[in-house]
A = this chain, B = another copy of it.
């Protein structure tokens, strides 16, 4: 809050710092307003005109901060995806280190909990964000995606001592994976072989499927207990991996 001004001395906010600060504040307000609109009306409610209306501006004023609406959406995805990555990393870090099972369960539950608490954010990150939007190849969002994948690799690495015998016949090699992902994963988990990275992606698919079906309302039309389903499947998953259970 008390800005890192940079050039000028202290109390008097003169100089170039002020303009930059105002600019940053407005940028943040635009993003906050957009996130608010998304929370109340879904990703489709993110329109430049609606944001401007809410802020008492003209829509075109936003073009001073974002070159286009897709740019704004990209920034939002970056933020939201990073928040998701933060959430699951925090859950992993704070889970009692009783054993792999506890941390794996904590990570997976955090993933689902975040998704159910931020369904619009989940759609923004993993679905069709907004009409006509196409995701860029690089930037913070792919970085966040790799953070999530790295977290998954952590799950795989934790389970690997137990699960390794089950994946002996895996035909995966390092060249089956994106270099940017391996740059993060291999230093973090040097003992994890390619088959272990593949396991991470399998876990991703496994968890993503149940959560996505639930967030998009498909699961809720078939069962009244998605909680139970997720919990049981999680226990089953841990068992399947050969990881010894610790507690529920």
Asked if A210 contacts B205 (CB within 8 A), the reply is yes
Is the Cβ of A128 less than 8 Å from the Cβ of B126?
A: no
Q: Assess the B205–A233 pair: CB atoms within 8 A.
A: yes
In the complex, what distance in Å separates the CA atom of A43 from the CA atom of B219?
22
A207, CB-defined interface residue at 8 Å: yes
Which of A5-13, A29-37, A98-106, A171-179 makes up part of the contact surface?
A171-179
- A135-151 at interface with B (beta carbon < 8 Å): 135, 142, 145-146, 149
A223 within 8 A of B: yes
* Contact of A109 with B by CB under 8 A: no
Contact B213 A204 (CB under 8 A): yes
Does A4 count as interface, using CB distance less than 8 angstroms?
no
B236 touching A222 by the CB < 8 A rule? no
Contact between chains at B208 and A212 (CB < 8 Å):
yes
Among B167, B178, B232, contact of A198 (Cβ-Cβ < 8 Å): B232
* In contact, A236 and B202 (Cβ under 8 angstroms): yes
A223 touches B177 (CB 8 A): yes
Q: Are B176 and A224 touching (Cβ within 8 A)? A: yes
Collect the chain B residues with CB atoms within 8 Å of residue A217's CB: 135
Query: Which residues 144-188 of A sit at the B interface, judged by CB distance below 8 A?
Result: 145-146, 149, 166-167, 170-172, 175-178, 181
Q: 7 additional contacts, CB 8 Å, given A127-B216, A172-B232? A: A44-B131, A123-B128, A128-B216, A177-B222, A178-B221, A204-B209, A204-B219
Binding site for B on A (CB under 8 A): 42-44, 123, 126-128, 130-132, 135, 142, 145-146, 149, 166-167, 170-172, 175-178, 181, 198, 201-202, 204-213, 216-219, 221-225, 228-229, 232-233, 236, 240
